Amino acid sequence: MLTIGKLGEAAGVKVPTIRYYEQIGLLPEPDRSAGNQRLYGQSALDRLAFIRHARELGFPLDAIRDLLSLSDRPDQSCAAADVIARAQLAEVESRLARLTALKAELERMVVQCAGGRIADCRVIEVLGDHSLCATDHRHPESEGAS
């Protein structure tokens, strides 16, 4: 059995994160020692490692919750897991497209900057007026916040 600190070390996750995952139900309530210290077994370590890896791959917590639920029922079809992974792939591809547009816009701003006075600075001008951008590089969630 592992204490919360040892579990965190073993999985590469900070203690407050473990507590948070317990609070939101991604990790089950642990057993407790006679002194009321949290104690975790191998299944908690495996589950925490799963969560950490999924977070590293960018999966949102709701998708991780669904994937964990699926992994708790190993006899069923993996079609639902495939749908979740495909949705995450689509999100990554969308993010890459936005980053590519962002890179192109930054390169264009830098190339067009004459290096003179701020009053004539293309970087400052473009940052002040999004309509001067060659591409729409905004994140979909910030569309209304312009």
pLDDT exceeds cutoff 60 at 134: yes
Adjacent-strand bridge partners of 1: none
pLDDT of residue 108: 83
pLDDT band, residue 16 (cuts 50/70/90): very high
pLDDT of residue 59: 96
What string of DSSP letters covers the chain?
Answer: -B-HHHHHHHHT--HHHHHHHHHTTSSPPPEE-TT--EEB-HHHHHHHHHHHHHHHTT--HHHHHHHHHHHT-TTS-SHHHHHHHHHHHHHHHHHHHHHHHHHHHHHHHHHH--SS-GGG-HHHHHHH-GGG-SS----GGGGGG-
pLDDT band, residue 22 (cuts 50/70/90): very high
Angle in degrees, CA 79, 82, 85, rounded to 5: 155
Q: What are the tens digits of pLDDT across the range 24-54? A: 999 999 989 889 899 999 999 999 999 999 9
pLDDT of residue 146: 43
**Which of 19-28, 61-70, 76-85, 119-128 has the lowest average pLDDT?**
119-128
